[in-house]
Copies of this chain bind each other. A is one copy, B any other.
Amino acid sequence: MYIPDPISKLIDGFMRLPGIGPKTAQRLSFYVLGMEEEDVMELAKALVRAKRDLQRCEECSNITDHKRCLVCADKGRDRSVICVVQDPRDVIAMERTKEYHGLYHVLHGAISPMEGIGPDELSIPDLLKRLEDETVQELILATNPNIEGEATAMYLQRLIKPFGIKVTRIAHGLPVGGDLEYADEVTLTKAMEGRREL
């Protein structure tokens, strides 16, 4: 095929990204040729920087380009609550609510015997170390509401209860804007179980 080498290399590069097949990769590559050189250089630099400069926060394991992440470094946050999430993206989602002012702990995954991920593969030892200090009063388990997430929440609850710390789990129920008619049985059962007096 008569495709110049720089273009076919770029197509190959884009195809390594998720959800990008050969057609999209070709479309993106030819688009890049028409972009401002400055914008292309910035994207290339951002790729290198994101890969090289990011590390885990030494406190909560969230990703950061400093020693401690922006949440841990923020003196205005409530240090008595830690919200445990699976992924750095979950922190972004939580922060978007602007309603939570405590700290986080990022596990980087969930317990999954199927994929060979046990508690030791996650940042659970770091979490236990944070609980030795007596400032933490509540641990909110915000792992995903699926099998792995529930198993992880269950495991953490059993592990941490003996510390005498309040352990809570985020609520399951109908999503706002959802439709009762289309809700699955498990969600509906959980929504009924979790009902609150008005």
Query: Which residues of A pack against B, CB within 8 Å?
Result: 1-7, 9-10, 12-14, 16-19, 24, 26-33, 35, 37, 39-54, 63-65, 69-71, 87-89, 91-92, 95-96
Contacts and interface: CB of A to CB of B under 8 A. Distances in A.
A12 B92 contact: no
A81 to B, nearest CB: 16
Contacts of A39: 13, 16
A37 B119 CA distance: 26
A51 B35 contact: yes
Contacts of A14: 43
Contact of A47 (B19, B32, B91, B92): B32
Contacts of A44: 44-45, 47-48
